[in-house]
Amino acid sequence: MRVARPVTLNPEQRQLLEQQARARSLPARVVERARIVLRAADGQQDKQIAAALGITPEKAARWRNRFLDKGWAALQKDAPRPGRPRMIGEAQVKLVIDKTTQEKPEASTHWSTRTMAAAVGLSGASVRRIWLAHGLKPHLIKGFKVSNDPQFAEKLESIVGLYLNPPEHAIVLCADEKSQIQALDRTQPGLPLKKGRCGTMTHDYKRNGTATLFAALNTLDGTAIRSG
């Protein structure tokens, strides 16, 4: 019978692998590899490890040998897979990144995989992989506001300072309003909800004017004060 190569761990290696074997925040494959090596260090053969962990003996042998040949770091990444060599060069990847971050397509607000693929001569799947690898999401936009007030910094410090250090015996309220709320009422009463039928509401309505909602927040205790 073929005997697997023995695994010997020093105290530091065993402690690190035991931490990984119990970790819940690590990928499952990394946890599994740590358990393989720990069982191998306890003298178990590949078939025993496979039966205990629900894997194949070949998998147990593969990660035993990878640890013995390349150490702990080899357990953190997948083994190289056979396949075609990489067809997309660094220059093409850089071109996609530069276009995505510095240009916009003609007559469009942002790049799509289709328009980028046509612009750089790659497939849509290749563009998608490059964007994913570099954390690029051209379809997402976040708004921002820049003040043109030359005294903006002073005003900001004055307001924030009031919240952080209010005057003695004073109440500091942060207030805002929502105006032009339409007070609408339906022209006909709807039918109530019942089994097999949702509630109904007529499309027609009548206007009863508008309302304004005011709200204030007591910054000391978080109490909200509302009025309309």
- The structure's pTM equals 0.38
Integer Cα distance of 80 and 44 in angstroms? 26
Mean pLDDT of 143-167: 88
Which residue, 39, 9, 43, 46, is CA-closest to 21? 39
> What's the pLDDT score for residue 76?
82
- List Cβ neighbours of 35 (8 Å cut-off, separation of 6 or more): 21, 53
Amino acid 85: pLDDT: 59
* DSSP assigned state of 180: E
Q: Return the pLDDT at 186.
A: 86
Which CA distances in Å does 79 have to 28, 55, 151? 15, 16, 59
**pLDDT reading at 1 higher than 60:** no
Q: What is the pLDDT of residues 115-131, one digit of tens each?
A: 999 999 999 999 999 99
| Whether the predicted pLDDT of 56 surpasses 60 | yes
**62-73 mean pLDDT:** 89
Predicted confidence at residue 177, as pLDDT, reads 87
Question: Which pLDDT score is estimated for 200?
Answer: 87
**Rounded Cα–Cα distance for residues 207 and 182 (Å):** 7
Angle at 36 between CA 33 and CA 37, to 5 degrees: 90
Secondary structure class of 77 (helix, strand, coil) = coil
Q: Indicate the pLDDT class of residue 151, thresholds 50, 70 and 90.
A: very high
Q: For 161-204, how does the pLDDT look when each residue is reduced to its tens digit (9 = 90+)?
A: 888 888 888 888 888 888 888 888 888 888 888 778 788 888 88
Q: Does the pLDDT of residue 86 top 70, yes or no?
A: no
Please give the pLDDT value at position 204. Answer: 87
Q: Indicate the length of the chain as a whole number.
A: 228
Q: Is 122 in a helix, a strand, or coil?
A: coil
- Going by pLDDT thresholds of 50, 70 and 90, the confidence category of residue 59 is very high
H helix count then E strand count, the chain: 8, 3
